[in-house]
Structure formats: C-alpha cells, structure tokens
Amino acid sequence: MENIVKVFKGTGFSSLSAQEIEILENHLFCIDGKGMIVKRLAPSDSSYQSTLQAAKDEQKLIELKEGQYLLPGFIDLHIHAPQWAQSGTALDIPLYQWLNTYTFPLEAKFEDTAFAKKVYAHLVDTLLANGTTTGLYFATVHEEASYLLADICARKGQRGLVGKVVMDDAEQNPADYRDEDTESALADTERFIQRVKALQAETVQGVYPVVTPRFVPCCTDEALAGLGKLAEKYDVHVTSHCSESDWEHGYVKERFGKHDTQVLNDFGLLRDKSVMAHCNFLSDADAATFKETGTAIAHCPISNAYFANSVIPIKQFHEQGVEVGLGTDLSGGYDPSVYSAIRQAVISSRMLEDGVDTKKAPEERGTDHSRITVKEAFYFATVGGGESVRLPIGRLAEQYAFDAQVIDTTVAQASMPIFDENEPLEDIFQKLLYLTKRENIVSVWVQGKQINE
C-alpha cells in the first residue's frame, strides 16, 4: 500500500472495445501519487479483502454510495473556447455566414484578456462539471489569450490541449481578426508552443500546445507549410477542420484541385498526433490516408446537423481503421456536454441508416450498416478520444490516469427511473449514458485529484 494514496471502491464501466464494455462490479481502483491506476481488483481477486482492509486502516478508502457509479472522464476532441460566449445562438444560418457575421467578430474580442479570462474560466468550470476531464481547444489568434486558456486549464486541473489559432491570409480573413502576417503567425505559434511546454512541467495532469491552422481557407500555403514544420520540430499535436461542409470542401478543391486531406498531408499536418474535426466529406482514399498517418477524426454530431450538410458515415470510417473521438464543437454544437454528443452520434447514425425521405422505398432510403450503438459512442468519448491524442486516458484500467466521474442516479433534482433493485448493470449503463444530467455528476477526478470539491 506504500505507493497507493487512494483506493476507490465501487461499480464502474469501461470500454473493452467499440462493441464491448467491462462491468466492474464492486471493484477496487488503487491510485498512486501520480494519479495513475496502479491496481484494479475484482472481489474474486485474492488480495481484494486485504487491500480493502488496509485502505480502511490507512484512511485511504473512498467508497461509492448505493446508486452511484463510476465512468471514465470524457474527452472532448473539439471545442472552440471563445465561442462559449455565443453558445445556443445564431445556428440558423450557413457556416460561411455564421463565421463572418457572428463568430469572427466575437473571437476578435479575445484580444482583451480580461474578457477572455471571464469566458474561459466559466467554460472550463462548466466542462469539468459535465464530466469532461480532457479538452482539445481552439482558442483565438491572440497568443496571450490563448496562453491564458492553457493556464486556466492548468490551474483548474483539467487536461487541456490548447491551440493558438492561425488565420494569416489577408484576402480571406477580416482586417480586425487575423494574424498580422505569416511570419508573425509562425513566430507567435512557436513561442506559444514553448510557453505551454514550460507550463506543462508545472502540472500533474498535463497541458499541451497544439498547432492549429483554423482551416485551409483561412491560411496561406506558406503558413500551412511553416506549421507542418513546427509540428515536426516540437512533436506536438495538430488540429484543424477538414472537409466539413459543401462550401468548405468545395473551396479547397477549387484552390488546390485536391481534398483537404491531401492538402493537409502535403503540408505535413497529418501526423500521429493530429485530430481533424468533422471530416464528413472524406473519400475512401482520404480515410486510408488518415489511417496511414495516424490522424483521428473528431466527430461532432451536433454541429454537423447544422453546418455539415450531411451525416458522416462514422461507423464505416472507424471500421476502415480510422481513429475516432467525439467533439461538442462549441458553439457550432450548442451543448457543452459530451453526453449530448454521445446521444446525437447515435441518433444521427440511425437516421443515416434508415434514411429520411419516405417517398423512397425503404431499401433505397438509407445507407446500410451505418448505425452505431450507445456503446460505440461511449467508446469514442473515452477510449477513442484518449487514443486519438496518444495519452493513457479513457479507461478505468491499470496504467491509465484516474480520470473519472461519479454519477449518482438518486440525486433529488434528477433521479433516474431505476425501480428494480436487481436491474442488470448493462441496462443501468445505458440509462447513465442517456439520462445523466449535470446534477447527477457528483464528483469529477482528473489524474487522481478531485476537481469539484
């Protein structure tokens, strides 16, 4: 017990594969001083009783109550942090118009670090309270405010992967919201990487700099090439948007005669730690490039319903071997909860499989083999997200960080419809995914540390 600082006792759920969950009934989760799960014991294990007794004796035991369950913390692979200030608004116009009339003017305001601090602190608290223990963020073009976001994640204990956004093309971006020029975009990005790497050393959970060209239409060829070189030089994560909508996919094809995937790959931006948002219009060849380069898809089902003009065949891409995680895409997606993204991922996939036009015969209406189950969506929100960013997160398993959320099904404001004492845990798991509200998430842990005490 020497190296163990806490022992959790309770029932948890963790993915084994996209199709299969582990039901960890009354397990012990032993956490070391670095916040890692170093031992996981089932009641049938020979050292279970002695470990439980020692944890009690040494006052290291944290026992879940009746009606409480443990899930891995969620990983949100696509969040526009500044857009939190406009969440839930302006979703009735197309992407291009939404960017230019609402989003860029809002993001321009983040030059003011006092405003940025207010919005970012509120956002990180909100995400943690909703069970998001790791977030991959786009900040804005401003280096200082972007660093502030990383600092807020560091101090509040969330694992943040943060990008200073690059938008350097003077022809394509508003005069009051873009990088001054290509050289300064690259210099700011390099300094940002160095500063966040230094900050990382001060945290237990980790904060990480991310190379972040907003999307191909905002960037010059020189910036894209320079960012590819920086990603290689510092071996950092890369994120962007890829083949999101008819307009955006069409723009890139016209400018380069190629799909986004090939353009990003030619500039060295599809790498082992790259995460590309949306990807609705990927061809099979594009998907093969994702697989070869180790690039993951951040699937953003809510935002896609507004801006992507399509439903992505996510099951097929995943079966082709592409890594997939989930994103809320605040504020193209209005809801900060990854639970909502899980639910919408399932719903959208069902509509893709069945089709929507009842004037067509059933056999012509939909796309076969498209639906995903709630277990698959849970896998994307946990294991898929963790693997996409190459971190040991997303499972309640040994050698993984203890990032977890305790769900209480009995809280008065949001009690769940569980009436049978012997309800199978498999069914409880599904209720947790479909019915959990913020009120049910009674504690959140990142790297072994409780965040919302």
- Burial environment of residue 329 by CB neighbours within 10 A (0 to 12, 13 to 18, 19 or more): buried
112: three-class secondary structure by DSSP: coil
Contact 210, 236 (CB under 8 A): yes
195/254 Cα distance (integer angstroms): 37
| 244 is a contact residue toward ligand GUN (CB under 6 A) | yes
Pairing of strands 37-41, 21-32: antiparallel
What is the smallest separation between the CB atom of 22 and ligand GUN, expressed in angstroms?
Answer: 34
Contact flag: residue 259 with ligand GUN (CB under 6 A) = no
Between helix 143-156 and helix 113-129 the angle, nearest 10°, is 40
Q: Which residues pair with 69 in a beta bridge?
A: 407
Q: How far is CA 64 from CA 48, 51, 70, 449, in A?
A: 16, 16, 8, 16
**CB of 218: closest distance to ligand GUN in angstroms?**
7
How far CA 172 is from CA of 138, 165, 239, 307, in Å, comes to 19, 15, 20, 19
Q: Which residue's CB is nearer to ligand GUN, number 309 or number 410?
A: 309
* CA–CA dist 346, 301 (Å, integer): 9
95-103, 112-120, 183-191, 201-209 -> range binding ligand GUN (CB under 6 A): 95-103
Q: Does 215 bind ligand GUN (CB under 6 A)?
A: yes
CA distances from 214 to 21, 43, 120, 147 (A): 35, 49, 19, 17
User: Distance of CA 36 to CAs 40, 118, 382, Å?
Assistant: 11, 32, 16
- Contact residue for ligand GUN among 82, 213, 332, 385 (CB under 6 A): 332
Question: Can residue 237 be called a binding residue for ligand GUN (CB under 6 A)?
Answer: no
Judge contact between 259 and 283, C-beta under 8 A: yes
* Torsion sign over Cα 209, 141, 261, 340: positive
Q: Which of 6, 156, 241, 343 binds ligand GUN (CB under 6 A)?
A: 241
Residue ranges in 177-196 that form contacts with ligand GUN under rule CB under 6 A: none
Nearer to ligand GUN, 142 or 241 (CB): 241
Closer to ligand GUN by CB, 1 or 93: give it: 93
Q: Using CB atoms within 10 Å of the CB of residue 46, give its burial: 0 to 12 exposed, 13 to 18 middle, 19+ buried.
A: exposed
449-450 and 441-446 strand pairing: antiparallel
Q: Which residue has the tokens 């082992």?
A: 272
Q: Contacts with ligand GUN in 102-121 (CB under 6 A)?
A: 103
The token pair that represents 306 in the structure block: 């507004």
**Is 214 a binder of ligand GUN (CB under 6 A)?**
yes
Determine, following the binding rule CB under 6 A, whether residue 239 of this chain makes contact with ligand GUN.
Answer: no
Residue 99 in contact with ligand GUN, rule: CB under 6 A: yes
For ligand GUN, the nearest residue by Cβ is 332
User: Which residue's entry shows tokens 């069914």?
Assistant: 427
State which residue, 8 or 98, has the beta carbon closest to ligand GUN: 98
Instruction: Note whether 160 binds ligand GUN by CB under 6 A.
Output: no
Q: Quick check: 6 binds ligand GUN (CB under 6 A)?
A: no
- When the beta carbons of 245 and 440 are compared against ligand GUN, the nearer one is 245
Q: What are the residues whose beta carbons fall under 8 Å from the beta carbon of 125, sequence distance 6 or more?
A: 156
Q: How many residues bind ligand GUN (CB under 6 A)?
A: 12
Helix 425-435 / helix 338-354 crossing angle, nearest 10 deg = 100
236/252 with CB nearer ligand GUN: 252
332 vs 384, which CB is nearer to ligand GUN? 332
Question: Which is closer to ligand GUN, CB of 12 or CB of 217?
Answer: 217
Minimum Å distance from CB 452 to ligand GUN? 28
Name which of 307 and 334 has its Cβ closer to ligand GUN.
Answer: 307
Q: Kindly state whether residue 329 participates in binding ligand GUN, applying the rule CB under 6 A.
A: yes
- Binding ligand GUN (rule: CB under 6 A), the pick from 6, 27, 40, 80 is 80
Q: Which residue, 86 or 349, has its beta carbon nearer to ligand GUN?
A: 86
Q: How far is the CB of 19 from ligand GUN (least distance, A)?
A: 30
Q: Does 168 bind ligand GUN (CB under 6 A)?
A: no
User: What CA–CA distance (Å, rounded) separates 259 from 252?
Assistant: 6
How far is the C-alpha of 221 from the C-alpha of 412, rounded, in Å?
56
**282-321: contacts with ligand GUN (CB under 6 A):** 303, 307
Which residues lie near ligand GUN (CB under 6 A)? Answer: 80, 95, 99, 103, 214-215, 241, 244, 303, 307, 329, 332
